[in-house]
Structure 1
C-alpha cells in the first residue's frame, strides 16, 4: 500500500504555479488542505484493510484450534477406551463432540 501511486495534488508544482498566477496562492492552501485530508483518509483505509486481514486470520486460527482440540479428545477417547476407563472415555467423547460441533459451526460461519 505504501508504494501505490500518489494522488494528483502531490505531483503539482505549486511553487512554480503560484509564481506565475496570483490565483494560485489560494490553491497552495487548498493543496495542503487536500493533501492532509488525503493522507488521513488513506491511513484510515489502510487500517481497515489491515483489520480485515487480521479478522480473516483469526477466523482460520479459531477453526484450527477447534480442529486440534477435537482431534486431541478423539485420541484420548480411543486411548481410555482401550484401557477400559469408561468415565474418562465418556468425558472425552463429550468434549470431542463439543469441539467438533464448534469446528463445524465456525467453518460454516466463516465459509472456510
Structure 2
C-alpha cells in the first residue's frame, strides 16, 4: 500500500517540483518552501514506507526549530492553504498550515 496523494496539489502548496531522494523509483521525495518570515519548511515523504518527516528551519541561521515524523500515512490532501495528513490510526488529520506563516495543528507529544 502507498500514500494516496495528488502531485498537483503538492505542487500548488509548495510552488515547486519535488526533488527525488536517491532514485525516483524508490518513491522518496523532498519538497521545500520558505514563508514570509524566512522560515523554511522541508517536507520529505516516502510513499512506499508510508511515512513523512518535516522540519521548520531558520534559513538565514541554518538552524532547525523543530522536526517531526509521521508513520502509517494513508493520504495527503490539500484544503485551501493547508496540507492534511491522514494516518491509519486517526480519522482527524495532522495539519500543516502554509499561510500566513507555517504552523501545525494536532500535535500530541507523549
TM-score category, normalised to shorter length: under 0.3
TM-score, normalising length from structure 2?
0.19
More strand by share: 2
TM-score, normalising length from structure 1?
0.19
Larger radius of gyration: 1
More helix by share: 1
